[in-house]
Amino acid sequence: MSSVDTAIRLISTGARSGATCSPDLIDAPWVFDPRPGYGPGSSMHDVIPVGTPRQGQIPAEYREASKEELDARIEAAKAALGERVMVLGHFYQRDEVVKYADFVGDSFQLANAAKAHPEAEAIVFCGVHFMAETADILTGADQRVILPNLAAGCSMADMADIDSVEEAWAQLEALYGTEPDASGRVPVIPVTYMNSSAALKGFCGRHGGIVCTSSNAATVLEWAFERGQRVLFFPDQHLGRNTAKAMGIPVELMPMWNPNKPLGGNAGDALLDARVILWHGFCSVHKRFTVAQIEKARAEHPGVRVLVHPECPMEVVDAADAAGSTDFIGKAIAAATEPTTFAVGTEINMVNRLAAQYPQHEIFCLDPVVCPCSTMYRIHPGYLAWVLEALVRGETLNRITVDETVAEPARVALERMLAAKPGTTPAHVIGD
């Protein structure tokens, strides 16, 4: 099976049928480095905040090199560096990058992989900015975390910034007060998804809150409700809604918080009754999946098993056979003992890789339009060769560092997550 990158080129030149969400996907990422924006792909219409990191132009020798030359240079650099460097690759990275990874996984699995290898002097993180931040928080002070392209951010993570969250918290404290109830539960506990900035993880650490992944969101919410009367969940509304709904919390008790409006656009009574306050954020990859796509898959493939990520809208999760993290989706397919048709609602690079890995099954993406994650797609072998060869020369490019004043409370919130023990996990939303 061809890679997503190859498929995009074949579709764009008319050599293969199909559609992509942008004709610009055929261009190399460095074409977009001088421009503001997330780049072509699922986040191309999202508004990028002022001050978001930009990537300077990398040297022409990397932009002009052939695939074969880049492959040889990357392999030579990795061989020269040996165990001094570890390359991490997220599930959503293009195949042309993932093949160089020493470990492939979701954001938290990758951060833990970095933590588990203190012998690595440098961690080259082929993912996005918040992931590299988390790796820097969890690894040793003598380890360097490198993001090959500084423009590889995350539009969902950018939808909740520290100033907006601090302002929301001040409004909620004014409404709820700060005193615990008779059972000792405080008025509200902040919970941030792993897909958020280090500043928001630090905010949770300072305010008695916690971090969650899509694999452990139910466990984390149980932890939060033991300590608080309600939860402020950011930045992804869909993961918060889907998880809380599966735990039996009525949707009516989950008001949305719009940071651009007083009280998030809510009446005070609605916030007083709330169990989970959902931040107005979303993943542009998973927002593309629809109930109509599921209905079409069921009509065309009788017996199809539909697996989606819990960042998808509630209606999509409800219509699927199961919803779970990227790790859950991969394990569900691996566990199928008989040839099965799977329609999968998550990022196309991962779906395409699963289809190649399990040829005994028919595996396809629910969305027929090829539309990769814009920011994951900003990582290209050219950038990887650039940062690795710099390490061989003794130079560190694109290092991601989190100030200790932020890292310390963020570490507290992450440690609370690790210490949280599961109760009764809902069957439908199992698990980034």
Q: Sketch the domain layout of the chain as residue ranges.
A: 4-153+375-392, 159-283+408-419, 286-369
pLDDT score of 108? 82
Work out whether strand 103-105 and strand 85-90 pair parallel, antiparallel, or are unpaired.
parallel
Question: What pLDDT band is residue 423 in, cutting at 50, 70 and 90?
Answer: low
Nearest-angstrom CA–CA distance, 307 and 312: 11
| Cβ atoms 12, 26 nearer than 8 A | yes
For the chain, give the percent of residues with pLDDT over 90: 93
Mean pLDDT over 386-398 rounds to 98
- Which band of pLDDT confidence, cut at 50, 70 and 90, is reported for residue 426? very low
Question: Tokens 């190859």, residue?
Answer: 6
pLDDT of amino acid 276:
98
Quote the CA–CA distance of 220 and 239 in Å, as a whole number. 12
**pLDDT of 429:** 41
- pLDDT band at residue 298, thresholds of 50, 70 and 90? very high
Q: Are strands 189-193 and 341-345 parallel, antiparallel or unpaired?
A: unpaired
Calculate mean pLDDT across residues 414-427.
73
pLDDT at 144 over 50: yes
**Which pLDDT belongs to residue 76?**
98
The pTM (predicted TM-score) of the whole model is: 0.94
110-119, 148-157, 344-353, 422-431: which has the minimum mean pLDDT? Answer: 422-431
Q: How far apart are CA 349 and CA 193, in angstroms?
A: 22
Which CATH fold would you assign to the domain 286-369?
Rossmann fold (3.40.50)
Instruction: Tell me what pLDDT residue 432 has.
Output: 47
Provide CB contacts within 8 A for 216, sequence distance 6+: 417, 420, 422, 431
Tell me the C-alpha distance between 207 and 187, whole Å: 12
Q: Which of 70-84, 106-120, 239-253 has the lowest mean pLDDT?
A: 106-120
**97, pLDDT greater than 50:** yes
Task: Cite the beta strand spans of 276-348 per DSSP E.
Answer: 276-279, 305-308, 322-323, 341-345
Distance CA 215, CA 431 (A): 3
- Residue-averaged pLDDT of the chain: 95
Q: Is there a common fold for 4-153+375-392 and 286-369?
A: yes
Tens-digit pLDDT profile for residues 361-371: 999 999 999 99
Is residue 421 very low, low, confident or very high in pLDDT (cuts 50, 70, 90)? confident
Q: Is the pLDDT of residue 424 over 60?
A: no
**The listed CATH number (3.30.1330.10, 2.40.430.10, 3.40.50.10800, 3.30.70.141) that belongs to domain 4-153+375-392:** 3.40.50.10800
- Checking if the pLDDT of 224 tops 70, the result is yes
With contact defined as beta carbons under 8 Å apart, do 175 and 266 qualify? no
Residues in the chain: 432
Q: Look at residue 201 and tell me whether its pLDDT is greater than 90.
A: yes
